[in-house]
A = this chain, B = another copy of it.
Amino acid sequence: MPKITFFNLPEDKKETLIHAAKKEFSRVPLYDASIANIIKEAGIPRGSFYQYFEDKEDAFFFLLNELTKEHKYIFIHILTRNNGDIFETMIEFFRIIISEEENFNFLKNTFLNMTHRIESTFSRSFSSNERNESFEKFSSLIDKSLLNILDANELFYVLKIIAAVTFRSFVDKFARDLPIEEAMNSYLIEMNLLKKGLYRDIPEST
């Protein structure tokens, strides 16, 4: 988390800083980002940066968190509108994220360098790593009658699976610079495979 000093800043200076950081993290991934570029862009001295943030990562995760909050909001909205149909929701959500123009490069750099820590932060937008309050909240919005599950425990794993496949689809889209419709096509195929199951039931021999 940024330091109190950052939050005490006048709104416009805060904006300037956020903008500068976002610009740098859109240019290159976290590890290649340079504080020098951020402060040059924001027009602040080096020492100030460290008044506001612990370090580079602190600034990055602050931005990522902000973005994630927005995504979570969108996600819940779509889920509600779709009466808890998780697959319909994922498909709509997927399209929205890959279509975001403003955050395109930030997202690209983030997805292509998705360490576990980044993934954990990001995940909060539409699922959860652990069975916690966040999971319970999502769970309550999902229409479980549509799913092939026995109990809450299986729901947890279902969401994990959907999240894993969705992440990979994001990465694929950004890594191979797929056009939106192509990425959507692949994603739809995968979601359908997930729905119907990958295994063929061997018919009982007569």
A: residues with CB less than 8 A from B are: 29, 31, 87, 111-117, 119, 129, 145-149, 154, 157-158, 160-165, 167-168, 171-172, 175, 186, 189-190, 193-200, 202
CB distance from A145 to the nearest CB of B (A): 7
Contact residues in B for A196 (Cβ distance below 8 Å): 148, 197, 199
- Copies per complex? 2
What 5 A-B pairs come out closest when comparing CB atoms?
A197-B197, A195-B199, A164-B168, A112-B116, A148-B200
Q: How long is the Cα–Cα vector from A171 to B129 in the complex, in angstroms?
A: 11
A147 to chain B, nearest CB (A): 6
Minimum CB–CB distance for A79 against chain B, Å: 16
Please give, as numbers and ranges, the residues of chain B lying within 8 Å of A200 by CB-CB distance: 145-149
Contact status of A154 and B116, CB under 8 A, knowing A164-B164, A165-B165, A200-B147: no
The verdict on A160 contacting B168 (CB below 8 Å), with A147-B200, A148-B199 known, is: yes
Please name the residue on chain B nearest to A112 by beta carbon: B116
A113 to chain B: which residues have CB within 8 Å? 115-116
Given known A114-B114, A116-B175, contact A147–B194 (CB-CB < 8 A): no
In the bound assembly, the distance between CA atoms of A199 and B145 in angstroms comes to 9
Contact sample, A vs B, 24 pairs, CB 8 Å cutoff: A87-B199, A112-B115, A112-B116, A113-B115, A145-B200, A146-B199, A146-B202, A147-B200, A148-B193, A148-B198, A148-B200, A149-B193, A157-B186, A157-B189, A157-B193, A161-B165, A161-B198, A162-B198, A164-B164, A164-B167, A167-B168, A194-B199, A195-B199, A196-B197
